[in-house]
């Protein structure tokens, strides 16, 4: 029998490798997934195999640096800022309606936990009824503005909640009153659980697990201060954010031993009339400026500008006790009643500070700009300087307008403003994002209470300093890139497409349009704001533009700065109060060979971790400032319960509206039940709630009139009642007119003034007019 021949094997066709998914595809997949996803699932879904897996890992790291996703332990991936749809949560309080207020179990993030609420009716169906301290597995549904509705799946145990409270010693038994805004009521402290706490102490307590609506119990863990201290509200804010307030002895010892350098080996700028412009109460003077006409005939009408910055790198060397502590703080924290400095006062207010008529070391950038404001060249020097004057913003502005000053200072200010006018022309072409949001300052009296709240007046003097600090920061980044020296950038990435989608939907409801073609630039937003100003709706549009922006952060990867519309940017100008600037100084000292105190190999390798750490600590400092302001303002307004105020809606959720008072900038909440006698439907995409019967609308950015119903200074809470009627549904109307006192307001013209001439030739019905493109 003939041998059966086996047909030859065909060579296997190598499969064409699948292309990497886009960032938008990855985010869409993660959003659709039920909970966190591991990298293997992602690769399988998109067919990523072999060597492409390494490219996928790199892409995911880029997305984490962009702030789009979180890479967690165990190769898990989650969309940034979003809680998983099913999550363990801890019950931390019960509100007046019996709703359970919760937070994610074991929350340890650097920002405030999202608001998670379980409806009282739903909670009552559970047997036994859950109470404070219970840990539940729950299914979450987004409810707008970082808040969620929760449905209980099952109880999974106990989770002790740690919080700051005021200890009250009473005959009938001690209690602890939480300072957290959401943890209402008080907790019973049983004998043996009080430790060394005395009446009025600020104490860290931990909940003891109790069910239902009976007495809630807790135990004292440590003492943070006393409520009668005039700094109590800032003490609470600092303790809540775990911000260091005391310097170790080794740090103070190093600061005490620090000495000013001699002038040798430094460029001598002592006779150059550099001067400082700062707030009137400033003590730490980071920067000084000088300008004069450029004598070079090849640069007609040009200017020479020197920006001199305190040389902190000379005093704070890598690896020293001062350096270690500065990194643990990352920045100074500015509260209404005090400043918590990054460096001991001997450095921050003395040796490093560019004080008037005193010789101080500095790192200076000498820049040449054209008559059109374009920077032609720059160089960095390490110098000794003597500030010729210490001016406040108000004084500098007055001198620029002909106010009294010595001839030398008058000339110096005049030259600086001439250079600024040239730079302002260049800035207009660059077109950075121009939100121009109002700033307020809380003025304290000697007793530690709020005396008044003032709106900061903006002068050209503010813009002068800001513009030259930005130019110096750009020069620092350019120098280090050219020298290929590792550095930490200050980045502000462009808005995410998902955020822009929400902006477009909201703007469409107001008869605006944001262009969909190509990348969105700051100029697009500026055009929107210009039209909104003409329609007297700038605040409404500013709110949604601000909310679409990503948070600026520090990173070793250059992502550019969207808000400033700059391709590269680093912080160089405030090393007394920001650790990021200190790292840039050290890098410049190394790159320009300016002497001791430069960047070392160990620091260069650690810059990525340093950037992450200081970004986190910056957010905690901002949270502490916000918490302290809330408590001081709540105490300030406590005597005005029942008073009415003009306000603006700053946030819209399913539970109610967040508002900010025009007078003080204080933030408060209006529960949804206080809006009127009808049911209000929450529309997330439109940032509004709509009345089911009337169709009336309360929306983001809307002006309203409110009445103060409750103030709780201990937690910083303010609760208001709504006095204004909702906007009529389906029409673009302004809210309560402050001048006329009417509720509701006149219709605004659909067309801006700029569009009117083009419409004269051909009349159209307003309903057919196309929204304006930007």
Whole-angstrom distance, CA of residue 166 vs CA of residue 631: 14
Q: Is the pLDDT of residue 1 over 80?
A: no
Q: Is the pLDDT of residue 719 over 70?
A: yes
pLDDT value of residue 596: 95
Those residues whose C-beta lies under 8 Å from the C-beta of residue 547, and which sit 6 or more positions away, are 499, 700
Looking up tokens 């949001």, which residue turns up?
437
Tokens of 603: 């620091």
Q: Is the pLDDT of residue 544 over 60?
A: yes
What's the mean pLDDT in 44-64? 82
CB atoms near residue 480 (< 10 Å): 24
400 vs 714: which has the higher pLDDT: 400
171 vs 740: which has the higher pLDDT: 171
Q: Using pLDDT thresholds of 50, 70 and 90, give the confidence band for residue 756.
A: very low
Looking up tokens 């949560």, which residue turns up?
89
83 vs 350: which has the higher pLDDT: 350
Q: Which of 698, 706, 639 is nearest to 668 (CA)?
A: 706
**3-class SS of residue 560:** coil
**3-class SS of residue 471:** helix
Helix axes 321-329, 249-257, angle to 10 degrees: 120
pLDDT value of residue 762: 38
Judge whether 669 and 710 are in contact, CB under 8 Å.
no
Helix axes 601-637, 579-591, angle to 10 degrees: 150
pLDDT value of residue 715: 86
- 159-168, 254-263, 634-643, range with the lowest pLDDT: 159-168
Whole-angstrom distance, CA of residue 234 vs CA of residue 117: 28
Q: Is the pLDDT of residue 770 over 50?
A: no
What's the mean pLDDT in 66-72? 68
Burial of 4 (0-12, 13-18, 19+ CB in 10 A): exposed
Tokens of 146: 């970082």
Whole-angstrom distance, CA of residue 255 vs CA of residue 162: 36
- Give the pLDDT confidence of 170-189 residue by residue, as tens digits: 767 899 888 876 666 788 89
pLDDT value of residue 497: 84
Q: Is the pLDDT of residue 750 over 60?
A: no
What's the mean pLDDT in 101-117? 75
Whole-angstrom distance, CA of residue 719 vs CA of residue 768: 42
144 vs 523: which has the higher pLDDT: 523
CA atoms 669, 675, 678, 683: torsion sign:
negative
Judge whether 310 and 348 are in contact, CB under 8 Å.
no
pLDDT value of residue 74: 54
pLDDT value of residue 749: 33
75 vs 450: which has the higher pLDDT: 450
Q: Which of 608, 489, 505, 508 is nearest to 558 (CA)?
A: 489
What's the mean pLDDT in 695-723? 93
CA 545 distance to own-chain centroid = 14
Which residues, listed in sequence order, are joined to residue 26 by a DSSP beta bridge? none
Judge whether 376 and 423 are in contact, CB under 8 Å.
no
The most confident of 12-16, 99-103, 353-357, by mean pLDDT:
353-357
Judge whether 516 and 497 are in contact, CB under 8 Å.
no
- 92-106, 123-137, 144-158, 244-258, range with the lowest pLDDT: 92-106
Q: Using pLDDT thresholds of 50, 70 and 90, give the confidence band for residue 422.
A: very high
Q: Which of 584, 618, 556 is nearest to 310 (CA)?
A: 584
What's the mean pLDDT in 290-311? 97
- Give the pLDDT confidence of 611-629 residue by residue, as tens digits: 999 999 999 999 999 999 9
DSSP 31-93: HHSSS-EEHHHHHHHHT--TTHHHHHHHHHHHHHHHTSEEE-GGGEEEETT---SEEEEEEEE
Q: Using pLDDT thresholds of 50, 70 and 90, give the confidence band for residue 123.
A: confident
Q: Using pLDDT thresholds of 50, 70 and 90, give the confidence band for residue 129.
A: confident
pLDDT value of residue 415: 97
Q: Pick left, alpha or beta for residue 263 (phi over 0 → left; psi -120 to 50 → alpha; otherwise beta).
A: alpha
Judge whether 312 and 582 are in contact, CB under 8 Å.
yes
300 vs 753: which has the higher pLDDT: 300
Q: Using pLDDT thresholds of 50, 70 and 90, give the confidence band for residue 514.
A: confident
pLDDT value of residue 184: 64
Q: Using pLDDT thresholds of 50, 70 and 90, give the confidence band for residue 33.
A: low
What's the mean pLDDT in 266-281? 95
What's the first-to-final CA gap in the chain, in angstroms?
A: 85
753 vs 405: which has the higher pLDDT: 405
The most confident of 106-110, 669-673, 745-749, by mean pLDDT:
669-673
Q: Is the pLDDT of residue 515 over 80?
A: no
pLDDT value of residue 457: 87
Tokens of 761: 């030739």
529 vs 774: which has the higher pLDDT: 529
Average pLDDT of the residues of the chain = 85
Q: Is the pLDDT of residue 52 over 50?
A: yes
3-state secondary structure string, 298-334?
Answer: CCCCCEEEEEEEECHHHHCCCCCHHHHHHHHHCECEE
Judge whether 575 and 286 are in contact, CB under 8 Å.
yes
pLDDT value of residue 77: 80
> Of all helices (H) and strands (E), which one includes residue 501?
helix 497-509
Q: What percent of the chain has pLDDT over 70?
A: 86
Judge whether 83 and 148 are in contact, CB under 8 Å.
yes
Tokens of 574: 């405030």
Judge whether 619 and 613 are in contact, CB under 8 Å.
no
Q: Using pLDDT thresholds of 50, 70 and 90, give the confidence band for residue 735.
A: very low
Q: Is the pLDDT of residue 659 over 70?
A: yes
Those residues whose C-beta lies under 8 Å from the C-beta of residue 619, and which sit 6 or more positions away, are 110, 111, 551
CB atoms near residue 115 (< 10 Å): 19
285 vs 57: which has the higher pLDDT: 285
733 vs 698: which has the higher pLDDT: 698
Judge whether 585 and 646 are in contact, CB under 8 Å.
no
What's the Cα-to-Cα distance from 202 to each of 198, 232, 444, 629, 737, rounded to whole Å?
A: 9, 8, 22, 18, 44
CA triple 534-535-539, angle to 5 deg? 95
């Amino acid at each position: 029998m003939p041998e059966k021949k086996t047909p030859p094997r065909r060579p296997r066709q190598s499969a064409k490798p699948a292309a990497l998914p886009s960032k938008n595809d990855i985010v869409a997949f993660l959003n659709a997934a039920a909970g966190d996803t591991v990298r293997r699932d992602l690769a399988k879904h998109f067919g990523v195999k072999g060597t492409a897996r390494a490219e996928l890992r790199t892409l995911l790291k880029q997305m984490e640096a962009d702030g789009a996703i979180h890479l967690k332990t165990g190769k898990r991936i989650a969309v940034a800022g979003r809680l998983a749809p099913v999550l363990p949560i801890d019950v931390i309080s019960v509100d007046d309606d019996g709703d359970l207020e919760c937070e994610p179990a074991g929350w340890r993030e650097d920002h405030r936990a999202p608001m998670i609420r379980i409806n009282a009716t739903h909670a009552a169906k559970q047997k036994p009824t859950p109470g404070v301290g219970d840990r539940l597995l729950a299914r979450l549904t987004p409810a707008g503005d970082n808040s969620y509705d929760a449905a209980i799946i099952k109880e999974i145990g106990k989770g002790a909640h740690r919080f700051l409270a005021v200890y009250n010693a009473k005959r009938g038994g001690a209690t602890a009153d939480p300072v957290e805004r959401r943890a209402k009521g008080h907790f019973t402290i049983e004998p043996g659980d009080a430790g060394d706490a005395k009446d009025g102490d600020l104490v860290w307590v931990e909940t003891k697990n109790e069910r239902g609506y009976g007495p809630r119990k807790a135990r004292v863990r440590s003492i943070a201060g006393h409520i009668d201290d005039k700094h109590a509200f800032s003490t609470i804010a600092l303790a809540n954010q775990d911000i260091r307030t005391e310097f170790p002895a080794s740090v103070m010892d190093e600061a005490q031993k620090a000495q000013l350098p001699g002038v040798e080996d430094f460029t001598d700028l002592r006779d150059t009339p550099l001067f400082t412009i700062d707030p009137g109460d400033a003590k730490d003077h980071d920067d000084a400026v000088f300008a004069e006409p450029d004598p070079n005939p090849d640069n007609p009408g040009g200017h020479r500008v020197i920006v001199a910055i305190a040389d902190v790198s000379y005093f704070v060397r890598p690896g020293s006790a001062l350096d270690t502590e500065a990194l643990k703080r990352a920045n100074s924290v500015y509260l209404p009643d005090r400043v918590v400095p990054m460096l001991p006062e001997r450095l921050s207010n003395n040796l490093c500070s560019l004080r008037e008529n005193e010789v101080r070391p500095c790192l200076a950038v000498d820049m040449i700009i054209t008559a059109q404001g374009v920077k032609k060249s720059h160089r960095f020097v390490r110098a000794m300087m003597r500030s010729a004057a210490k001016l406040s913003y108000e004084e500098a502005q007055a001198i620029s307008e002909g106010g009294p000053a010595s001839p030398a200072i008058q000339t110096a200010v005049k030259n600086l403003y001439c250079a600024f006018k040239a730079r302002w022309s260049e800035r207009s072409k660059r077109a950075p994002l121009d939100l121009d949001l109002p700033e307020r300052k809380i003025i304290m009296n000697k007793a530690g209470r709020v005396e008044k709240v003032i709106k900061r007046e903006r002068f050209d003097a503010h813009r002068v300093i800001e513009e030259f600090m930005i130019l110096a920061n750009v020069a620092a980044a350019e120098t280090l890139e050219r020298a290929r020296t590792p550095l930490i950038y200050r980045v502000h990435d462009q808005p995410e497409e998902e955020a822009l989608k929400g902006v477009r939907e909201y703007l469409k409801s107001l008869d605006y349009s944001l262009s969909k073609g190509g990348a969105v630039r700051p100029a697009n937003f500026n055009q929107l704001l210009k039209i909104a100003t003409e329609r007297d709706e700038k605040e409404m549009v500013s709110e949604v533009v601000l909310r679409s922006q990503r948070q600026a952060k520090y990173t070793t990867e250059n992502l550019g700065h969207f808000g400033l519309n700059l391709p590269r940017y680093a912080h160089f100008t405030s090393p007394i109060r920001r650790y990021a600037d200190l790292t840039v100084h050290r890098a410049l000292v190394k790159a320009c060979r300016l002497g001791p105190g430069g960047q070392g190999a160990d620091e260069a390798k650690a810059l990525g971790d340093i950037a992450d750490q200081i970004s986190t600590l910056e957010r905690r400092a901002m949270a502490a400032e916000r918490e302290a302001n809330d408590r001081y303002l709540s105490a300030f307004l406590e005597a005005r319960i029942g008073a009415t105020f003009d306000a603006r809606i700053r946030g819209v959720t399913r539970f109610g509206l967040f508002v900010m008072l025009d007078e003080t900038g204080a933030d408060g909440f209006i529960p949804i039940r206080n809006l009127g006698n009808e049911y209000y439907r929450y529309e997330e995409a439109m940032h509004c709630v709509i009345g089911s019967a009337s169709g009336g609308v309360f929306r983001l950015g809307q002006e309203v009139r409110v009445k103060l119903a409750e103030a709780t200074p201990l937690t910083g809470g303010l609760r208001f009642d709504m006095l204004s009627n909702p906007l009529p549904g389906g029409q673009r109307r302004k809210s309560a007119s402050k001048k006329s006192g009417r509720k509701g307001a006149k219709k605004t013209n659909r067309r801006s003034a700029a569009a009117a001439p083009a419409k004269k030739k051909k009349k159209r019905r307003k309903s057919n007019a196309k929204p304006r493109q930007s």
